[in-house]
Copies of this chain bind each other. A is one copy, B any other.
């Protein structure tokens, strides 16, 4: 999408074709700067330190990281080491494991002399696929939101609440949860977004920033405020992204998502999840088995004398999820529906 009127994507091959260029998201919204990644170690660092973040973008960054590794050393050993290094950066988002599994499968049988080229082709393909998936999520999700808007009698303003950042900054382009919002706005539905601040990393500031770049009206709120807004009827729909969806439809996403899903259910507000199909992990029966990343207490307070605990994700039980939007369409948060949805067409 556009930043200060210019088109940008969150990750791309550098103009010298020797590096990967990403937006340094740790500097946003204060400063919009690109950063160049030249080695697999730099790619792993970028994921770990959240220079890049968002489940889909983490997956694509890892694919580019494999390329950077193989460019320096195309051996089986180097491939294995790169997969291990990148796989250990962040535990919760399954898109990372998905991207690395795919890289292993597609690259292990490629002869080392042409492996780097194949890895680059794969990374670029995955980036394009991600953008296309998000564009399709936008299409399906906008139809879902528009139905809700019309069921409500087309109110003067259609209020959507989102948690964390699942916009184009979390993907290669478009976003997951925000793709339907952008589309709805572009189609002329008078949409306004309540943006959860999303402590401790304040990804809500990223969401506020990218919505403002696109001209979508939005208002920042603290994570505590969404329940009150829903009680008062000031939220018409919630939509969030996902880092991993279990086989039964339990959704693991940024910590605090579960609290909003509870409030939405209590107030009769539909709660939607938008994510590419690569976010499903059928190897995990239910959300309780998903590893929850614990990050540094210093993300909460810089004061090292204060004991703090900082889990980064939580699990929203499938019973609280009204629909899952993927690039294939809409799916219920239920084992059978998910199985059908993921069946090769």
CA distance A205 to B208 in the complex (A): 27
CB nearest to A287 among chain B residues = B231
**A258 contacts B228, CB within 8 Å?**
yes
Q: Output the least CB separation between A122 and chain B (Å).
A: 35
CA distance A228 to B311 in the complex (A): 8
Annotate A211-237 by CB proximity to B: 1 below 8 A, 0 otherwise: 000000011111111111001000000
**A221 contacts B308, CB within 8 Å?**
yes
Does A327 have its Cβ within 8 Å of any Cβ on chain B?
no
Does A307 have its Cβ within 8 Å of any Cβ on chain B?
yes
CB nearest to A209 among chain B residues = B306
- With contacts A219-B307, A307-B219 known, is A227 near B256, CB below 8 A? yes
**A225 contacts B301, CB within 8 Å?**
no
Annotate A139-161 by CB proximity to B: 1 below 8 A, 0 otherwise: 00000000000000000000000
**Which of A224, A231, A314, A315: most chain B CB closer than 10 A?**
A224
Q: Output the least CB separation between A115 and chain B (Å).
A: 41
What secondary structure prevails in chain A residues at the interface with B? Answer: mixed
Q: Output the least CB separation between A344 and chain B (Å).
A: 34
Which residues on the B side are within 8 Å of A199 (C-beta)? 197, 199, 222-224
Which residues on the B side are within 8 Å of A220 (C-beta)? 297, 300-301, 306-309
Q: Output the least CB separation between A185 and chain B (Å).
A: 16
A228's partner among B197, B200, B231, B315 (CB-CB below 8 A) is: B315
Which residues on the B side are within 8 Å of A123 (C-beta)? none
**A300 contacts B222, CB within 8 Å?**
yes
**A224 contacts B262, CB within 8 Å?**
no
A225's partner among B255, B263, B306 (CB-CB below 8 A) is: B255
CA distance A219 to B297 in the complex (A): 10
Which residues on the B side are within 8 Å of A301 (C-beta)? 205, 220
CA distance A308 to B223 in the complex (A): 12
- With contacts A199-B197, A225-B311 known, is A208 near B306, CB below 8 A? yes
Which residues on the B side are within 8 Å of A228 (C-beta)? 255, 258, 292, 311, 313-315
CB nearest to A255 among chain B residues = B224
Does A1 have its Cβ within 8 Å of any Cβ on chain B?
no
Does A198 have its Cβ within 8 Å of any Cβ on chain B?
yes
CA distance A208 to B310 in the complex (A): 15
Does A106 have its Cβ within 8 Å of any Cβ on chain B?
no
Does A266 have its Cβ within 8 Å of any Cβ on chain B?
yes
Does A13 have its Cβ within 8 Å of any Cβ on chain B?
no
Does A259 have its Cβ within 8 Å of any Cβ on chain B?
yes
CA distance A200 to B204 in the complex (A): 14
Q: Output the least CB separation between A295 and chain B (Å).
A: 11
List 5 tightest A-B contacts by C-beta distance, closest first: A224-B256, A228-B314, A262-B262, A220-B308, A199-B222
